[in-house]
Amino acid sequence: MKLLVIGGGGREHTLVWKLSQSSLVDKIYCAPGNAGIAELAECVPIEANEVKGLLKFARQQSIDFTVVGPEEPLILGVADLFRKEGLKVFGPGARAAHLEGSKAFAKYLMRKHDVPSASFKVFETIDSAREHVSTLAPPFVLKADGIAAGKGVFVCQSVEEAGDAIDQMMKQKRFGAAGERIVIEQFLRGEEASMLALTDGRTISMLPSAQDHKPIFDGDQGPNTGGMGAYSPAPVVDDRAYDRIESEVILPTVHAMNVEDRPYNGVLYAGVMITEEGPYVLEYNCRFGDPETQPILMRLKSDLVPVLVACAEGKLDTVDMEWDDRVAVCVVIASGGYPGSYEKGKPISGLDAVKRLADVQVFHAGTALKRGEIVTAGGRVLGVTALGSTIKDAIDRAYEAARLIEFEGMHYRTDIGAKALQRVQG
């Protein structure tokens, strides 16, 4: 088979790494890819949002199967376009991807179909949003309606903070059109987990739990990022919580999308708050998480290709997945200044030393090749991912590897997995 993977981040490197292990695969292309992906696949200079260019390339190369990584091309309808032309593709159509494309749509869907979520209101003007927060007791949560690379969420501890967040989104246009409409919702107390499932619209196959670390600094301090690390499984999701998320969140959501004539085919990702009352959905994503994909796929023992193909063909009930019982931890190494402004082009050293470590993989996110040298090319640069027999073992292995890597201004959190460690030790 000839495969095309769309995207160029850490999630896509992980997908290419896993897909390339399949005996069914002869050749993988990746658009646009990165320096790490280039070691496993042929990178082509087509951006992930250039849907017509991607279609043209897939036709020219007689691509057998396409896997879409990021949300933007899915929201733009790349899967619809490919299917219309008779090309096999993994990922939801645009109407289904609206579940991530609009937080307001997702909230209304959950309210209508009794999926547990925080109470909310939607606003399209600054004055009405400001008036509403003045009636609330903090803390409360403000979200840009559209996609904002994981950074469009503000947890506000005061009315003044909320006013500043409203101005950033609706007046200063920090997130462009994504912030023209905002959702203001109840603050939920608990611990967050990432729950992913594959679905062909009829059958659901749950993936292992994971937990992301959004804020830039240790102790969950500082502004939100796309994710500074993750681990799988997440101890906060015990067997009871896992079963409840499947029965109260994932199944009803897939059913609701069918009822709304938005059949869902691909990865359904629910960001879930585990509260004392049970699981509540914080948000949906229509694709594999980043960085959750890194530890989850490190634990997958099965061939990924037949699973994704079966999902795309509506035959998910014909395949099974086998998982490694060990724990996987991913530590994201970022450029200095991220998630604000940062410099690119910094040479990276130590990658060859990490390759000599057992059960460790470095997944490239924001990297590029410059005159034969791997350099930084993004905010999140690398995802150092390790397997271990225990959470402590996996954490130690990941940080041992991270300490071998160097580039100017690099930054990473030193507490990835700490919450899991407290739970298993406590």
- pLDDT tens, residue by residue, 54-110: 999 999 999 999 999 999 999 999 999 999 999 999 999 999 999 999 999 999 999
Nearest CA among 103, 114, 111 for reference residue 147: 103
Non-local CB neighbours of 106 within 8 Å, separated by 6+ positions:
99, 100, 281, 283, 284
Order of strands across the sheet that contains 153-156: 120-123, 182-186, 140-144, 153-156
Are residue 253 and residue 340 in the same domain, yes or no?
no
Q: Is the same domain home to 250 and 362?
A: no
Note down the domain range covering 257. 191-318
Tell me the two tokens of residue 325.
Answer: 């019982």
Q: Are residues 334 and 309 in the same domain?
A: no
On whether residue 274 sits in a domain, the answer given is: yes
pLDDT band at 426 (very low <50, low <70, confident <90, very high): low
**Does 385 score more than 90 pLDDT?**
yes
Residue 105, number of CB atoms within 10 A of its CB: 17
Which pTM does this prediction carry?
0.96
pLDDT per residue as tens digits for the range 279-332 = 999 999 999 999 999 999 999 999 999 999 999 999 999 999 999 999 999 999
Give the end of a domain, one of 300, 318, 336: 318
- 44 and 160 in a common domain: no
Q: Is residue 100 part of a domain?
A: no
Q: How many domains does the chain have?
A: 4
* Distance in angstroms (rounded) separating the CA atoms of residues 426 and 405: 32
The three-state secondary structure class of 394 is helix
Q: What pLDDT, on a 0 to 100 scale, did the predictor assign at position 149?
A: 75
Three-state SS letters, 183-206: EEEECCCCEEEEEEEEECCCCEEE
381 to 35, 103, 231, 314, 363: CA distances (angstroms): 11, 28, 18, 36, 9
Q: What is the CATH number of the domain that holds 281?
A: 3.30.470.20
- The C-alpha atoms of residue 371 and residue 39 are separated, in whole angstroms, by 15
**Per-residue confidence band for 151, with pLDDT thresholds at 50, 70 and 90:** confident
What pLDDT score does 253 carry? 98
